[in-house]
A = this chain, B = another copy of it.
């Protein structure tokens, strides 16, 4: 037995060989981000979480940026775990894909903000990406517009969800301050902002998630409409 330090710190022993794996490091990173937030995701703290030295992670990832990429990949793996396309229900498939990204990002906002634009089409979510294309084909969207609508759905899911995550990591106080900014502006110049003032009561009751859902419905309504027009041979003009 070693003599305990006066500070009461646990006497850390050298880790056994192979104790650190990329998977464990990514899991610890995600937990750190979820529980402590973006600012806590540093190599020293990650090392402490793992019971290892602050530099031990460099044996498994070339850089912190490399680790961030792995965390981003983990996020999408989690999002599309057990995903299956909903067969003929093309609209259900597209909603499912977008909701999975949204739910995962909002559950891990700090990790989602880091992942941000680092994801377009990695490996984990390829199956979902392929299903989106299949769903649009089932809907009756013809080439080459199909590729464009695929990008609309993919970008919507990733960019909008990333934006929602960004809101989430702001302090509650900051969120509140931003919410009241325009009310102050209206108080000083009521004639300039009459339109906004008229709907202020309604605005307060809207959640960001509801806005996401509404935008998705609007996009899918238009896609369905264009598919119907394509089926009857009409032009878009």
Contact = CB atoms under 8 A, between A and B. Distances in A.
A123 to B, nearest CB: 6
A144 to B, nearest CB: 4
A198 to B, nearest CB: 8
B129 A210 contact: no
Interface stretch (A3-11, A25-33, A48-56, A150-158): A150-158
A130 B219 CA distance: 24
Contact of A202 (B144, B185, B222, B223): B144
Interface in A192-237: 192-196, 198-199, 202-203, 205-206, 208, 210-212, 214-215, 217-219, 221-223, 225
A64 interface: no
Interface pairs A-B: 3 shortest CB-CB: A159-B163, A117-B166, A147-B202
Contact of A218 (B178, B205, B214, B222): B222
B215 A223 contact: no
A178 B222 contact: no
Q: What DSSP secondary structure best describes chain A's contact surface?
A: helix
Query: Which of A133, A150, A169, A222: most chain B Cβ within 10 A?
Result: A222
29 contacts: A116-B163, A116-B166, A117-B166, A117-B167, A119-B178, A120-B178, A120-B181, A121-B178, A121-B182, A126-B182, A130-B194, A131-B195, A133-B195, A143-B202, A147-B202, A147-B203, A148-B210, A148-B211, A151-B214, A155-B163, A155-B211, A155-B212, A155-B215, A156-B160, A159-B163, A219-B222, A222-B222, A222-B225, A225-B225
> Within the oligomer, what is the number of copies of this chain?
2
Interface of A: 116-123, 126-127, 129-131, 133-134, 137, 143-144, 146-152, 155-156, 158-160, 162-164, 166-167, 169-170, 178-179, 181-182, 185, 192-196, 198-199, 202-203, 205-206, 208, 210-212, 214-215, 217-219, 221-223, 225
